[in-house]
């Protein structure tokens, strides 16, 4: 949150490009702290696909509500994608193989944040 807020500190409204920058900065902060890599079964396994969906929507000229729908869909798919993974980082890594078969808590909480963001912006 600190890294995400840094890039948006003086803004009262964000366009899609600024939202993407905020998410990229926030995710970079998480990666810097925890050294997460794709497939580690962390919240980043949701944030990366969400940012890709946002960037794809921006490149396609989508408006913010459409981009948010695509971001939520990507987040839902990515969160479910953590179920077969074995956690290699974070608290879930302490479970070892027992983490397989369960959706990652960080991925789930990230999905909840993305959905709340979309619902708030779209009204």
Residue 1 pLDDT level (bands cut at 50, 70, 90): confident
CATH, range 2-122: 1.25.40.340
Instruction: Give the up-direction half-sphere exposure of residue 83: CA atoms within 13 A in the CB hemisphere.
Output: 6
For 52-100, how does the pLDDT look when each residue is reduced to its tens digit (9 = 90+)? Answer: 999 999 999 999 999 999 999 999 999 999 999 999 998 899 999 999 9
Residue with tokens 């396994």: 45
Q: Are 85 and 45 in contact (CB under 8 A)?
A: yes
- List the chain domain ranges: 2-122
Q: Is 91 helix (H, G, I), strand (E, B) or coil?
A: helix
**Close Cβ partners of 87 (under 8 Å, ≥ 6 residues apart):** 40, 41, 42, 93, 95, 96, 99, 104
Determine the Cα angle at 2 with ends 114 and 106, to 5°: 40
Q: How confident is the model at residue 7 (pLDDT cuts 50, 70, 90)?
A: confident
Q: Where are the alpha helices (DSSP H) in the chain?
A: 2-6, 16-34, 44-59, 64-81, 105-122
């Amino acid at each position: 949150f600190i890294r995400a807020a840094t890039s948006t500190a003086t803004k009262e409204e964000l366009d899609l490009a600024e939202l993407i920058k905020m998410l990229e900065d926030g995710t970079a902060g998480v990666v810097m702290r925890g050294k997460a890599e794709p497939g580690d079964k962390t919240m980043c396994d949701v944030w990366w696909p969400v940012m890709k969906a946002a960037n794809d929507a921006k490149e396609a000229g989508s408006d913010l509500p459409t981009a948010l729908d695509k971001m939520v869909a990507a987040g839902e798919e990515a969160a479910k994608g953590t179920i077969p993974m074995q956690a290699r980082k974070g608290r879930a890594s302490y479970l070892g193989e027992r983490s397989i078969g369960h959706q990652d808590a960080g991925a789930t909480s990230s999905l909840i944040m993305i959905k709340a963001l979309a619902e708030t912006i779209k009204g």
